[in-house]
Amino acid sequence: DADVTQTPRNRITKTGKRIMLECSQTKGHDRMYWYRQDPGLGLRLIYYSFDVKDINKGEISDGYSVSRQAQAKFSLSLESAIPNQTALYFCATSDSGRGSVTEAFFGQGTRLTVV
Amino acid sequence: AQKITQTQPGMFVQEKEAVTLDCTYDTSDPSYGLFWYKQPSSGEMIFLIYQGSYDQQNATEGRYSLNFQKARKSANLVISASQLGDSAMYFCAMTPGNQFYFGTGTSLTVIP
């Protein structure tokens, strides 16, 4: 099993629908992140969380919300999906131990299409 | 503001040759980490190499090395002896503090 698991892997949804992307990790990391990837724009941070009670907006949080249900679970919701939210979405985790940030471990990605 | 810049949208290299992928960064934080990731066409993000801002020596991992020039704020990835399987998108990333900032990526194509 993957250390960071995203579900679903692919999703097509209609404009205006609410959709949730889920992420779970078995690495025991405290930090979790949601990114979206668009061609030519790299990965942009949507939200991040450093523990269950800590949620922070990234650079492109408008139109998204998150929930950190447990240390291992971090879900991303699109309250009312729109076509320009069509993208590849990644969940990632990292460890803040030893006083420095380790590399980010990524899920397999969720390819979301809003029609 | 933190910023990562990758100025090469696409690169080509002959198989078995070395290639350098450029990355410059901007941060006022004295402590930061620099990372390179590979994204093959299948989409997953694969961690390649890490360099800490206080590390005195350039990081190396097999055929990958990071040419860290702190004064110039550059962290170029060098891939030696390119292989066909190296064809992918490559992302440079930085962590000043608590977030990961990514560049826009470089698409590398290895030519047989």
Q: Which member of A40, A101, A105 has the closest CB to residue B33? A: A101
Q: Residue A39 — pLDDT band, cuts 50, 70, 90? A: confident
B45, B94, B102: best mutation site toward chain A, by most A Cβ within 10 Å? B45
- Residues A67-88 have pLDDT tens digits of 999 999 999 999 999 999 999 9
Which of A2-11, A31-40, A96-105 has the lowest average pLDDT?
A96-105
Residue A94 forms beta bridges with which residues?
Answer: A31
Please indicate if any CB of chain B lies within 8 Å of the CB of A55: no
In the predicted structure, residue A45 carries a pLDDT above the cut 70: yes
Beta strands in B2-87 (DSSP E): 3-5, 10-14, 19-21, 24-26, 33-39, 46-52, 60-61, 64-69, 74-79
Partner B, chain A 90-109, Cβ-Cβ below 8 Å: 90, 92, 94, 96, 100-101, 103-106, 108-109
Q: What does the pLDDT read at residue A103?
A: 86
CB A68 within 8 Å of CB A76: no
Q: What does the pLDDT read at residue B15?
A: 97
In the predicted structure, residue A60 carries a pLDDT above the cut 60: yes
Residues of chain B with pLDDT under 50: none
Q: Which member of B35, B98, B102 has the closest CB to residue A103? A: B35
Mean model confidence pLDDT for chain B: 94
Within 8 A by CB and 6+ apart from A95, the residues are: A27, A28, A29, A30, A31, A101, A102
Residue B92 forms beta bridges with which residues?
Answer: B36
Q: Give the minimum alpha-carbon distance from A18 to chain B in angstroms, rounded to a whole number.
A: 25
In the predicted structure, residue A99 carries a pLDDT above the cut 90: no
Q: What does the pLDDT read at residue A19?
A: 97
Please state, in angstroms and rounded to a whole number, the distance separating the CA atoms of residues B103 and B36: 10
Please state, in angstroms and rounded to a whole number, the distance separating the CA atoms of residues A74 and A67: 6
